[in-house]
Amino acid sequence: MYLPPAFEIEDRDSLYAIIRENNFGILTNQVEGAPFATHLPFMVEGDCLVAHMARANPQWRAFGDGAPALCVFQGPHAYISPSWYDSKDMVPTWNYVAVHVRGTPRIIDDPAAAYATQQRLVAAQELNLPEPWRLENEDRARIDGLLRSIVVFEIPIDQIHGKAKMNQNRTLADRRGAIAGLRETGAAGNAAVAEYMARQDAEKDIT
């Protein structure tokens, strides 16, 4: 992606945290010579992404050709009105956070490994629920049957790039105006961008 240095997120732990907080990503590759995309929940394990898709989905059949895939994760984003700025003669923009991951998918063929992977995927999603649903509490034969209808895979992270376009090229007064404007809208997504911008400013003050 287009990545001006001022907007780049370099810390790998921060990039992984963004993925974990926004783990419903888009997996893209080439299927029969044309771009193909699937929306999937992912999990970060070490330096790999882990996920699964329906066996009926043709995308996984392209995994065996050794070609890399691209995963896109969208963080908080919001429209920024120039009316919020202290500066005049400005134009609208869009603030956003995104992470792109490139790697070559590998299918997890072993049934026991696929089952264990699904256990971890489910546990990660159920983590904060008061009564977590557990895969291991279900009938194993039935679950094994369901596993045959999906393809479990991992993507070693060969390249990872993060971008936080958050008005870094504007004055502090303009940024503060944008933060206030976002908060005043009352929209949850706008509030998330406002808090991200406020954290950036606080970190600058500390450092």
pLDDT score recorded for residue 207: 40
pLDDT (tens digit per residue) in 29-84: 999 999 999 999 999 999 999 999 999 999 999 998 888 999 999 999 999 999 99
pLDDT score recorded for residue 205: 65
Among 119, 146, 143, 150, CA closest to 55: 150
Among 165, 195, 196, 173, CA closest to 8: 165
Instruction: Answer with the residue of higher pLDDT: 80 or 201.
Output: 80
- The yes-or-no verdict on residue 203 having pLDDT over 90 is no
C-alpha 198/C-alpha 207 separation (Å) is 14
pLDDT (tens digit per residue) in 79-119: 999 999 999 999 999 999 999 999 999 999 999 999 999 99
Quote the longest CA-to-CA distance of the chain. 66
Please report the beta strands in the chain, taking only residues with DSSP state E, as ranges in sequence order.
8-9, 24-31, 34-41, 43-45, 48-54, 69-80, 93-103, 106-107, 150-156, 159-165
Q: Please, what are the domains in the chain?
A: 5-169 (2.30.110.10)
- The yes-or-no verdict on residue 206 having pLDDT over 60 is no
- The yes-or-no verdict on residue 9 having pLDDT over 80 is yes
Mean pLDDT over residues 172-185, rounded? Answer: 97
C-alpha 53/C-alpha 55 separation (Å) is 6
**Whole-prediction pTM:** 0.92
